[in-house]
Structure 1
């Protein structure tokens, strides 16, 4: 069977969906990635995946311009002739679903997060709702990454309940992501946020929390690992990130292809996001045995049992974030270690990627009957 996997970045496929790609290839399927070409496209080909480039802006919100994507998706789908298409991120989910219907190819969509159109209510978000409602008539299956997102789509009548299912994000390979052999509290203590520099990820609140913490504990290290994304109005300017670093509120680590090694050097992973699907960075942190501080919002709250493997804080509240980070900082060494072990246990029990891959195989079988 030929299976297309369609996302807004090749990087996304390689970093978050490679295990699924490998499982499909191992089962004897042909897999073709359809995405904008970047440095990771060749890596997908090296793994045995076909690749067809398709240009799309990951953050553009011009519906008229985006409607032209339907033509581009249609051409790609007619060229590849897949038996089924797996679609992720907003534009493939919406415009790819319409194109696939025109091409007569079944699709399986994954709502991996609601994005800005659900956080900010304006004309663009209203148009997006209408597009979701129209395009989501067509998929054979729509996976959601948390129950809140699924319920929101059902309440707004954007999708039929019988084609929906909740899975824990992309899952996590608990064999590859292993805690360090020996526990070690860092001196000084290290907080780490792994995220692109976006307002909606809560980076401003993270810096606010850093200022509060450092006033009491000057040696605490507060780090950010992730790309600076100045596209659109949601990215924080590089000059501001550099200013925070110069003022000592933030250590900006840039980007890395080996995130796990950076996480190993942290005591606690923090993500003050406004809303998520199921954040991969927190799944990795849990599998690596790290305490987590994150917001009590859909997607994030699923990764923390408050007081067990971390703490939940109020969204858009730097002071409350600082208070929860301080609670972790003040934990005795044995309790800090136990909290990390509890994160690992949660990853094994709730987020192992084998379950996610099995659900995809079942959905593919059902869609191609």
Structure 2
């Protein structure tokens, strides 16, 4: 069993990451904390509670965290994820409430309750975790492992030419986290899942059709590029109907960006790595974050060790960068786990 604190800005791909974890019996979600990113933080919390209710999950704490970045104005991306962050999905009323605790306290108290056993998974901006390590400087030593989705190292950015969305929203927070998590033993270094790899995690219409079939839908569920824009699903399994409507929006966005009728599943892949680090191959690197660049603020810069074991900066690695994987094996796992939730409810 893996104890997890999940830090999200729920969004479409965060939604699938959450359902992936709910469908895996190894995942013990201690809490989910919410930050502003894809949409404002309170909408993030409402989306998260809505998916938990729809999936039939038990009382998992959902705590609100930072509603703005540490030092710059908030930017959100409803054009990518829809006006409420879940595409065309219309999640039913959930009747659940946000925790009274702040996300930073949740991070600290979870790690102290299970020292060395909690894996932190961050699929949004790093604001909450930066606040947590400022509140509790021992937190990096108390966590078992940290997995972060973010960055574009040897790959184009998706927000600015060299900058990925999560770090663009709060570069100062990313800088604090990578600095504070430096110096850990190699087996506990943070794992970064950057665009270099996650943009190879490409969901297609065929994956959605397989998911619906595995979830017991009576009729094939097809999302086709020839469909009218915004067409809604008629799947008879509500979880799949809502997911399909969310994914359709995401695919339409990618098509609008000239990337094809696909959806990059950045966050579910990071969730899979959090449960099973062996799902990827890694390269150690020393990571830092550009804060002063007029064109590059928010860029994660990687210094790769040379044959001598040291990079140009002469600083030891502070992260392991996910560099390769088997995307179709991941999608097999994603379909299996989400279908299990649709058929039988959460695994624990």
TM-score above 0.5, yes or no: no
The structure carrying a bigger helix percent of its residues is 1
Instruction: Choose between structure 1 and 2 for higher RCO, CA contacts under 8 A separated by at least 6 residues.
Output: 2
Pick the structure with greater CA Rg.
1
* TM-score, structure 2 as length reference: 0.40
* TM-score, structure 1 as length reference: 0.38
